[in-house]
Amino acid sequence: MTIEHHENMFVSDNTISELNKLLLKYGMTQNQAKVFLYLSKTGIKTASEISKALDVPRTETYRLLDNLQEKGILFSIFGKPTQFKVVEINESIRILVDGEKNRIQELESGADDIIKLWNSVTKYAENKEKIDENKFQTLQGRNSILVKLEQMIKDSSQNILVLGTELDFRKFYHTDFIELLQKTKSDLKVLSDYNKERNHIFEDIPAKRIKKLEDVNRENFCFIIKDDSEVIFFISNVELKEKLAIWTDSRAFVITLRSLFNLLWTKSHYVDESSIQSTLEGEITFEHRLREIEQEKIILNYLQSVFKLTENEMTNKR
């Protein structure tokens, strides 16, 4: 039994495969992850030993080692031949995360420069008539959907309508999605199944914002509407490995789904009917008083403007 084969017995193939997949999320390629994991469990090795153990060409092995050194998670030990050792796994992950954060900051800082340069380009099509377009965009995978969801909620200024079961939104539980919904100043309405006996993804949102979606009304619909102007509609298919959704600003599509939401909202009940009624009555009283104050302010502003005008006329006569 070779040394390499003996060392490979310490970790199962399934575990190595799972670790490889996870490291891809931290900016590594598949071969970089293979080299990193091999050195993590075997210790110090030469390029020749790595190449032979992983069945990777020698030139490719050196390139992969250079890549890992550039990431700051591998260092070389000079000698004849040169040996290589990776940084401890916990420290390596921290270095990779910090590197990704810095890369995102660079992208964000460079965005303004790109926009300024683009705005400086002569617009060759200014004389063309603007055509109303119905744009559609396919969103595949949790991250791409989440980015669009967060953008919609942040940009919302009027209303946000959410319809879907707890199962539909479970993958967004430990993200900023729910927190953004909590903080939004828009008129938020959520239609979802609800069970007091278990934790629910929308449990931290005020009960006055949530109504219970009855079983007969679910029909596998799941969508989020922002300001009656755009919508993300989730595609339900058990055969799909990744979550799939469609984003569109098609007015006909948005209005249709908004009408469906309003119909279901009217027919549904709040998750906590007992405490809602007094709250709503308090809101009505508050809103009524607010309108009175606004009307009083308009009258006072008008009188003030008239008073100033009269005062100016008196001064001119003198």
Give the mean model confidence (pLDDT) for residues 169-177.
Answer: 82
203, 155: one domain: yes
Distance CA 65, CA 224 (A): 46
CB neighbours of residue 149 within 10 Å? 24
Which of 38-42, 231-235, 310-314 shows the lowest mean pLDDT across its residues? 310-314
Distance CA 232, CA 31 (A): 36
Give the mean model confidence (pLDDT) for residues 191-203.
Answer: 76
144, 267: one domain: yes
80, 159: one domain: no
63, 161: one domain: no
User: Which pTM does this prediction carry?
Assistant: 0.54
Is residue 113, in this structure, part of any structural domain at all?
Answer: no
Over the stretch 242-276, which tens digit does the pLDDT of each residue have?
778 899 998 888 998 898 898 889 888 887 766 55
Is residue 7, in this structure, part of any structural domain at all?
Answer: yes
Distance CA 123, CA 145 (A): 32
Distance CA 3, CA 42 (A): 10
217, 183: one domain: yes
Give residue 294's pLDDT: 62
Highest mean pLDDT among 15-19, 100-104, 246-250: 246-250
Residues shown for the chain: 318
Cβ atoms of 159 and 228 within 8 Å: the answer is yes
Total domains in the chain come to 3
265, 143: one domain: yes
22, 45: one domain: yes
Give residue 136's pLDDT: 87
Query: Residue 250 gets which letter from DSSP?
Result: -
Pairing between β-strand 187-192 and β-strand 210-212 as defined by DSSP bridges? parallel
Distance CA 181, CA 177 (A): 6
CATH of the domain at 207: 3.30.870.10
Work out the mean pLDDT of the chain and round it to a whole number.
78
Is residue 188, in this structure, part of any structural domain at all?
Answer: yes
255, 298: one domain: no
Whether the pLDDT of residue 32 is over 80: the answer is: yes
Give residue 13's pLDDT: 64
Give residue 304's pLDDT: 54
Distance CA 162, CA 315 (A): 60
Give residue 47's pLDDT: 92
Structural domain of residue 46, as residue ranges? 3-91
Over the stretch 216-225, which tens digit does the pLDDT of each residue have?
555 678 899 9
170, 78: one domain: no
265, 141: one domain: yes
Query: Coil, strand, or helix at residue 215?
Result: helix
Is residue 295, in this structure, part of any structural domain at all?
Answer: yes
